[in-house]
Amino acid sequence: MNEDGSDYSNGTEEQELYAPVTRDSHDVTCGTTATAPYADGGANACDQQFFGGTHDTDFEQCLQSVDCQMHKEMMYETSVDEDSNVVTFMQQMIPHHENAVNMAKLLLKQDMDAVSGVEDLEGILYDIINVQNFQVHSFRNYLNPEGKLLEGSTSVPPPTRLRGRRMDSGACTPSETNICMSLDFFASETGYYNLDRGDFEVTSGSSPDITVKIGQTITFDQSDHTNWYHPVGFAYRPDGAHGDDWGADENPEVEGLGELLYKIDGAATDCPDAGDTGLDCYEPEFFYPYDDWTSKKYTSELTITPEVAAASEGGVIYYFCHIHSKMSGRIIILNEDGSDYCPGSKEQDLYAPVKRDANDVAWGTTGASQYGEGGDMECDMQFFGGNHDTDFEKGLQAIDCQMMKEMSGETSIDEDSNVVTFMQQMIPHHENAVNMAKVLMKQDMDAVSGVEDLEGTLYSIINVQNFQIHQFRNYLGAEGKLLESNNASTNVDPVDRCSSSSSKSSSTKKAKSTKESKSGKYSKSTKESKSGSKSGTKSGKS
């Protein structure tokens, strides 16, 4: 308007602006968009249930509709026998992400009181909504110019993409006292650390053993870009702050002054919560966006003092990831002269890295092979069109089958808690997204490298959603509601160097109690840190 309030005109015609979407009563009730046709009685309703029970509450009816929508759109909005694995991945991931977003919106809409009663859950839900909507927009921006966006609407915002860079692969020089860390994402659900000490020690394979002498200070260099979301920690029991099982109490860590020091860009951390080790400055930065995180150098310095050695069980302590559990490896303590250190106590059990069969190795997945063609859990339906005659397509079919069966079979029937149902549904849903990202990276990394910023997006899917899976498991495990199959794992062989030594009493071996906050709980600085999209994902257990 003009300054005097009259109409302003510059002689041009106003442009068209799309109207806000109109939602019917079902979507208003659910807090969703465009799911009504997939609800019971809708034009696109499914003839199968996606989780057990009578579906007699608004929450359950809404959840059925959003699961049906994902099922049908992943099938019909994916090109048949598509030449580009990147295109197929994005076409599958759009409705998959939309389902996660709608599930989060549904829980916020239907049961905000329950959400408020679970520590940090509200932030996780906003993270799911904002991060995955952002990725959906990025995928649409790629597919639409290629003529490969098969959704009904292509009216999308302009692209706002992540911009990440890889660290120089030569940034770390391995040696006896400088260990170069990287992550093999494909080796397990969350991946395992790989360690490189150069010619000093053979450290091949996942979560390898290393030896360290009393008095030595060893630097663990996490410069490699694969360490994003995987800050290393050190503990007297496997998995450290994560505890012995999902939702369990924290285990004692190496955390004393002079025992451990975290550094960023070569300097000791100095944030207000630095404490003796700097952990609460170091760990939160691993939640920063990929581009921000890769612009710095992250290292930790572990010193095996006599006190650390004495607090160990069987002369062994453990490295682990502060954000993801089940990634531990052994640090075997030696005397100063390199001889065996025998504290007189028995080494603790440590699970062995998972073993994958030929299909999972080819696809880059874990536990998906049995859902593939000819497997014990094979589905009798296709989840997208075509012949499925490539490894990529076979892997995608297997993980889609796995998601459908686990979302149905690992959800409580007529559960009273909407939060529990949400988490039980979201775990296999997130696992599917993680596996989809891994299959694409494993099968067609050249194509990934050819799409601007896609590699960073795939790392974000893997790391952020695996972290959320762990939070959900911690909550459900403590409530006795974690219905995942618990496959028995094997243990690594004990070191057994000092079998003739007598055991000392536990009273003289008790490790120091934890002082600083760990990934098992939420620290102040971690609460203020950001996730892969600055949306506030937090570290630790829910």
The answer, yes or no, to whether residue 514 has pLDDT greater than 90, is no
If one counts every other C-beta atom within 10 angstroms of the C-beta of residue 145, the result is 9
Predicted pLDDT of residue 418: 95
Res. 443 pLDDT band, cuts 50 70 90: very high
Per-residue pLDDT band at 160 (split at 50, 70, 90)? very low
CATH number of 26-161+357-479: 1.20.1260.10
Q: What is the mean pLDDT of residues 299-326?
A: 96
Residues carrying CATH 1.20.1260.10, the chain: 26-161+357-479
pLDDT digits (tens, 9 = 90+) for 201-235: 999 889 999 999 999 999 999 999 999 999 999 99
Strand ranges in 61-185 using DSSP code E only, listed in sequence order: 178-184
Cβ atoms of residues 443 and 359 within 8 Å: no
The amino acid occupying position 300 is S
What is the rounded average pLDDT of the residues 115-141? 91
pLDDT value for 367 = 87
Q: Quote the pLDDT of residue 491.
A: 77
Per-residue pLDDT band for 519 (boundaries 50, 70, 90) equals very low
Lowest mean pLDDT among 293-302, 445-454, 498-507, 521-530: 521-530
- Look up residue 517 and give its two tokens: 């906050």
Lowest mean pLDDT among 14-23, 98-107, 292-301, 523-532: 523-532
> With 80 as the cut, is the pLDDT of residue 508 above it?
no
Residue 245 pLDDT:
87
Encode 150-187: b = buried (16+ Cβ within 10 Å), e = exposed: ebeeeebeeeebbebeebeeeebebbbebbbbbbbbbb
255 pLDDT tier (thresholds 50, 70, 90): very high
Residue 486, pLDDT score: 59
Per-residue pLDDT at 175 exceeds 60? yes
Residue 495: is its pLDDT beyond 70?
Answer: no
pLDDT tens, residue by residue, 48-92: 999 999 999 999 999 999 999 999 999 889 999 999 999 999 999
Mean pLDDT, rounded, for 514-525? 37
21: pLDDT strictly greater than 80? no
Q: How confident is the model at residue 538 (pLDDT cuts 50, 70, 90)?
A: very low
User: Rounded to whole angstroms, what are the CA distances from 48 to 44, 116, 384?
Assistant: 12, 32, 17
Please tell me whether the overall predicted TM-score, pTM, comes out greater than 0.75 for this model.
yes
pLDDT at 490: 72
For residue 511, pLDDT beyond 60: no
The sign of the CA dihedral 386, 387, 388, 389 is negative
Token pair of 521, please?
């709980």
- pLDDT, residue 487, reads 52
- Sign of the torsion angle spanned by Cα atoms 74, 80, 85, 87: negative
In the chain, % of residues over pLDDT 90: 69
pLDDT higher than threshold 70 for residue 497: no
The tens digit of pLDDT for each residue in 386-430 reads 999 999 999 999 999 999 999 999 999 999 999 999 999 999 999
For residues 99 and 426, give the distance between their C-alpha atoms in angstroms, rounded to a whole number. 10
For residue 494, the model assigns a pLDDT of 75
How far apart, in Å, do the first and last CA atoms of the chain sit?
52
Determine the average pLDDT of the residues in 144-154: 75
Tokens of 306: 């006599």
What integer best gives the mean pLDDT of the chain?
86
Give per-residue pLDDT as tens, 351-382.
Answer: 888 888 899 999 999 889 999 999 999 999 99
Residue 527: the pLDDT is 34
Q: What pLDDT is stored for residue 529 in this prediction?
A: 38
Which pLDDT score, from 0 to 100, does residue 532 have?
A: 41
Which residues lie closer than 8 Å to 199 by C-beta, 6 or more apart?
none
Residue 232: which H helix or E strand, with range? strand 232-235
Distance between CA atoms of residues 193 and 191, nearest Å: 7
Q: 345 pLDDT exceeds 70?
A: yes
CA dist., res. 397 & res. 391, Å (int):
10
Which pLDDT band, with edges at 50, 70 and 90, does 540 fall under?
very low
